[in-house]
Structure 1
Amino acid sequence: MLSLNWNGKQRRDPQPVSLTLDSIIHPGGIDYPQENPLNRLYLGDNFALMASLLDEYEGKVDLIYADPPFFTNRKFTARIGRGEDSRKPAEWQLAEGYGDSWLDLDEYIQFLYERLLLMHRLLAPTGTLYLHLDWHADAYARLLLDEIFGPDRLLNEIIWTYHGPSPIRSAFNRKHDLILSYTKSDTYTFNADAVRVPYDQTTVKTFASSLKAGFGKVPNLERGKVPEDWWYFPVVARLHNERTGYPTQKPEALLARIILASSNPGDLVADFFCGSGTTPLVAARHGRRFLATDTAFRAIQTAKTRLVREKSQPFGIFLGDETRKKETGLPSDFTLSGQEISLGPKAAPVYWELDPDWDGSTFRSYAQALQPLRHGDIPRSLTLPPRSGKVCIRSVTADGAQSEFALE
């Protein structure tokens, strides 16, 4: 079998990190309080985090979707604020997104290789991996996956095609990504009926005029067909309702097809480069459990906000040896009157939440307020439950600053 070699190729022993349960989020107060959420977000380096998850999850993840950096050697910025979806760049506010810069191809391939090895260990014997890349490195990734999974474990080479403007004038416009799908064994989940699509109207008309059109085979036109291995889904453009402003956000429809096809309700779905949080959002929407990690606080906060907006089941947020510093809020930012907490005139968060019975350690979010996607203002008050103890408030501003303080 062919294998890929590069300078520095090695199978490093991953060093686990200690995981701290930072918070448990109960969107809209659902199932409050719950001590052991099945759904989890992790902030930290995914190589160390995956190593830490082996004790609990090795061989137990049913589906992994991986959308790593593409070896573009670019730095991607996030667009924040209400103007980010406009067509006027002067109105955009930019913030740090994520980096995709490397010393050379060897460094990138080693980065990808050692993480794919851990994903293979976490994957269940009947599990499936979908690796999403583009023309920069997909050829190398195919050889890596052949080495780790075996070349006979390739399930599909999927083309995701889309449209949009392009400055290229010296070649054909590059308007597709590649998704490599590998199974861990020859027994795996594939729910064909869950992802069927209607036949093209030309096909319907052809069979309506002549049953011999299919060389003796008549398809079930009402049931539809299993999609081909090339998929068209629009990218998440500026004016789409699901847009978050996080760079390279993937469309929900793309993840829905993958999750519905290759997992069942109650299965565990993981995304170790979760970015804007599309995978955990769609997994929760369809009754799957999720694990998702990212190195950036903005990514985890974006995923958290989307899950709260969706009113998903409770989920935990864990820190991997990286306690994020929380600034001390000013007492004038919030006021307490009876069972109602209100924003002060100086407060301008895009997200805030409260723990009505704070223990000084894990933040248990009972109520949340979010800035609406397109129009309107963030709710200025939240209501405490009838029986409350020490109240703690967390807030996040558009630039990503998080503050926390307790009301005595």
Structure 2
Amino acid sequence: MPLNWTSASPSLVVRGDNLDATAQLPDEAFTVVYLDPPFNTGRQQQRRSTTSTRSAADSVTAITGFKGVAYERIRGDLMRYDDRFDDYWSFLEPRLAEAWRLLASDGTLYLHLDYREAHYAKVLLDVLFGRDNFLNEIIWAYDYGAKSRNRWPTKHDTILVYVKDPSRYHFDSETVDREPYMAPGLVTPEKVARGKLPTDVWWHTIVSPTGREKTGYPTQKPEGVIRRMIQASSREGDWILDFFAGSGTTGAVAQSLGRRFVLVDSNEEAVAVMRRRLPDATFRVVRPRSTRSRAKRDAAATAG
């Protein structure tokens, strides 16, 4: 069923493959695009290989990278370095290229990863979006769960932030919820009362197992983390897109802030959670394309 979506449509939740769904959305329609993809934690994946190459005329990513190194050279070097990356990036890369297309000229991309993939993704995003379009590396730090005794415990995620146009992107730090000073005795009482603006290190707890936010969905992210992104990088009435919506936190936060949203997830359980959480949204299903057309699309998107 075609989405027939426009910027005048109501907020939308789509069940289906996010490439099939986002292909039906118009260019530059979203002020914030958020991707929280499955982390590459060693799960079994189907391996694919592509042999075609990009040309400057047919892809936004066919550009020269850092110090004149071609895109396909950077991508190839990373794949030779770690063969697991080939599977993961073949999955993620076409979705990032689609995110670039959908991002408004004043828009911002937030890519949420863990330590296994963040550094690979940073190098490739520099050539996908452009090195000058890198805005921030946000570290979301938390302190919950078991802790290793034979290395420093890994208690953070990485959120890479890129903009569509470094001369036009929207960012308003004054709209962001403030946080307590870590050393309140070093600042004035007025500053203590107001709180400080967050830096690029966000100390924020995970979703509490007994808190009001808890939906039961296993990969649910806390509203406070998503809230900061949407507050800073969008205005009331702007459209927010989430490729891997999960429990629908992005939609819940966007709605509470007066933004509109499109959420996509292929998991029926996730959509069921979102139906309970976002009863006023429109829900649609996108059927998968034929195997042949999908293979042709993926090959074109991941070639190089």
Aligned to 2:19: 47
Aligned to 1:318: 284
**8 A contact 2:246–2:270 mirrored in 1:** yes
Residues 181-214 of structure 1: per-residue CA shift (max 9 Å, x gap): 10111211111111152552634x33449xxxxx
- Verify: 1:71 aligned to 2:40, yes or no: yes
- Verify: 1:234 aligned to 2:205, yes or no: yes
Aligned to 1:60: 29
- Verify: 1:281 aligned to 2:264, yes or no: no
Equivalent position SS for 1:273: coil
Aligned to 1:296: 267
Q: Structure 1: how far apart are the matches of 2:88 and 2:107?
A: 26
Greater share of helix:
2
The alpha carbon displacement at 1:101 in A equals: 4.4
Q: Structure 2: how far apart are the matches of 1:221 and 1:178?
A: 28
Of 122-131 and 41-50, the range deviating more from structure 2? 41-50
Residues 101-149 of structure 1: per-residue CA shift (max 9 Å, x gap): 4543212111111110000000000000000000111111112211111
Q: Structure 2: how far apart are the matches of 1:305 and 1:117?
A: 31
Aligned to 2:240: 269
The alpha carbon displacement at 1:20 in A equals: 5.9
Q: Structure 2: how far apart are the matches of 1:233 and 1:152?
A: 29
Letter in 2 for 1:288: R
- Report which of the two structures shows the higher radius of gyration computed on alpha carbons: 1
Which of residues 4, 19, 25 in structure 1 aligns to 2:2?
A: 19
**8 A contact 2:247–2:270 mirrored in 1:** yes
Equivalent position SS for 1:135: coil
CA RMSD of aligned residues (A): 2.1
The alpha carbon displacement at 1:37 in A equals: 4.5
Residues 323-377 of structure 1: per-residue CA shift (max 9 Å, x gap): xxxxxxxxxxxxxxxxxxxxxxxxxxxxxxxxxxxxxxxxxxxxxxxxxxxxxxx
Greater share of strand:
1
**8 A contact 1:37–1:316 mirrored in 2:** no
Equivalent position SS for 2:220: coil
**8 A contact 1:42–1:319 mirrored in 2:** yes
Which of residues 233, 243, 253 in structure 1 aligns to 2:224?
A: 253
Matches within 5 A, 1:62-101: 62-74=31-43, 101=45
Equivalent position SS for 1:126: strand
- Among all aligned residue pairs of Structure 1 and Structure 2, give the percentage whose two residues are the same amino acid: 40
The alpha carbon displacement at 1:73 in A equals: 2.7
Letter in 2 for 1:19: P
**8 A contact 2:115–2:158 mirrored in 1:** yes
Which of residues 197, 213, 218 in structure 1 aligns to 2:178?
A: 197
Which of residues 94, 102, 111 in structure 2 aligns to 1:131?
A: 111
Q: Structure 2: how far apart are the matches of 1:202 and 1:172?
A: 25
Matches within 5 A, 1:377-396: none
Aligned to 1:150: 130
Point out 4+ residue stretches in structure 1 off by more than 2 angstroms: 18-21, 100-105, 205-209, 219-226
Q: Structure 1: how far apart are the matches of 2:253 and 2:169?
A: 21
Aligned to 1:121: 101
Unaligned runs of 5+ in 2: 48-83, 289-304
| Change in CA separation of 1:155 and 1:139 when aligned onto 2, cut-off 3 Å | same
Letter in 2 for 1:269: I
The structure whose RCO (Cα within 8 Å, separation 6+) is larger is 2
- Verify: 1:140 aligned to 2:120, yes or no: yes
Q: Structure 1: how far apart are the matches of 2:28 and 2:187?
A: 46
| Change in CA separation of 1:226 and 1:73 when aligned onto 2, cut-off 3 Å | same
| Change in CA separation of 1:188 and 1:165 when aligned onto 2, cut-off 3 Å | same
Letter in 2 for 1:43: R
Q: Structure 2: how far apart are the matches of 1:299 and 1:142?
A: 28
Letter in 1 for 2:23: A
Equivalent position SS for 1:274: coil
Aligned to 1:325: none
**8 A contact 2:181–2:192 mirrored in 1:** no
Letter in 1 for 2:255: A
Q: Structure 1: how far apart are the matches of 2:177 and 2:144?
A: 26
Q: Give the TM-score normalised by the residue count of structure 1.
A: 0.57
The alpha carbon displacement at 1:225 in A equals: 3.0
Q: Structure 2: how far apart are the matches of 1:207 and 1:316?
A: 48
Equivalent position SS for 1:52: coil
| Change in CA separation of 1:19 and 1:231 when aligned onto 2, cut-off 3 Å | same
The alpha carbon displacement at 1:293 in A equals: 0.3
Letter in 1 for 2:94: E
The aligned length equals: 248
The alpha carbon displacement at 1:228 in A equals: 0.8
